[in-house]
Amino acid sequence: MEVIILAGGLGTRLRTVVNEVPKCMAPVAGKPFLWYLLKYLTHYNVHRVILSVGYLREVVFRWIEEYKDEYPFDFDYVVEEEPLGTGGGIKLAMNKVLGTEAIILNGDTYFDVDLDAFLRIHNNYNSLLSIALKRMTAFDRYGNIKCGLNNEVQEFEEKKYCENGQINGGVYVLNKVVPFFDNLPDKFSFETQVLQPNSGKGCIYGFVQEGYFIDIGIPEDYQKANHDFSSLFKFSI
């Protein structure tokens, strides 16, 4: 299993509480956030992790060099010399994938998805791109995702208040060979230039996952992660 972690974000909304490190290295309950993502991956047959890095990448390089022997997988990198957006980062990293597909994780999101089951259902559906969905109530920070009865993604709704829905959990399985990136520039949004225009075309599927979810992209949820992780990982640290 190969995993891409999108770790090139600037984290502008977190600057009031975290600075001088990239968002994936924000300290949470005594560890960099990246530590929790890598710890999570050790529960699966991951043999290679590709980090898409950019802003303050030297911080990531130094930390991985110091702690890489603690993990049972190899590390590789792609470097965003300038921010490429979520789509550009994924496109660049997919060039390094050796197998037929890759798991993709957002570097600022922890979503406890059963990756073995997720990959299996992705292949069973002959999906080109699968999204791990998280059920949510009373939210307006994320757009709601509508799926058909067969789990095919039909529509990505604009961000607005939603009483009950399901959101993009920031965990994907993406096939190596896909038409999504054809004719797209190096810098683009995965959400608006890949996901939205290809919904309803029988190639993107969404599967609800019930595991713990946190996105540390805003100060309130960053503080929540500090509180939650202190108990969730107290036997691991």
In percent, how much of the chain has pLDDT > 90? Answer: 80
pLDDT (0 to 100) of residue 15: 62
Residue 8's pLDDT is what? 79
Residue 235 has pLDDT above 50, yes or no: no
- Residue 11: which pLDDT band, with cuts at 50, 70 and 90? low
The answer to whether residue 203 scores a pLDDT higher than 50 is yes
Query: Does pLDDT of 10 surpass 90?
Result: no
Q: Which residues contact 231 (CB under 8 A, 6 or more apart)?
A: none
3-state secondary structure 7-66: ECCCCHHHCCCCCCCCHHHCEECCEEHHHHHHHHHCCCCCCEEEEEECCCHHHHHHHHHH
| Average pLDDT score over residue span 34-42 | 96
Token pair recorded at residue 200? 């309803």
pTM of the model: 0.94
Most confident of 22-31, 35-44, 227-236: 35-44
pLDDT of residue 83: 87
The string of pLDDT tens digits covering residues 128-177 is 999 999 999 999 889 999 999 899 999 998 889 989 999 999 999 999 99
**Residue 46 pLDDT exceeds 60:** yes
In the chain the domains, ranked by start, together with CATH numbers, are: 2-132+168-232 (3.90.550.10)
Residue 208 has pLDDT above 70, yes or no: yes
Give mean pLDDT, residues 53-74: 94
Q: What is the pLDDT, as a whole number, of residue 158?
A: 85
Measure CA 148 to chain center: 23
Q: What is the mean pLDDT of the chain?
A: 92
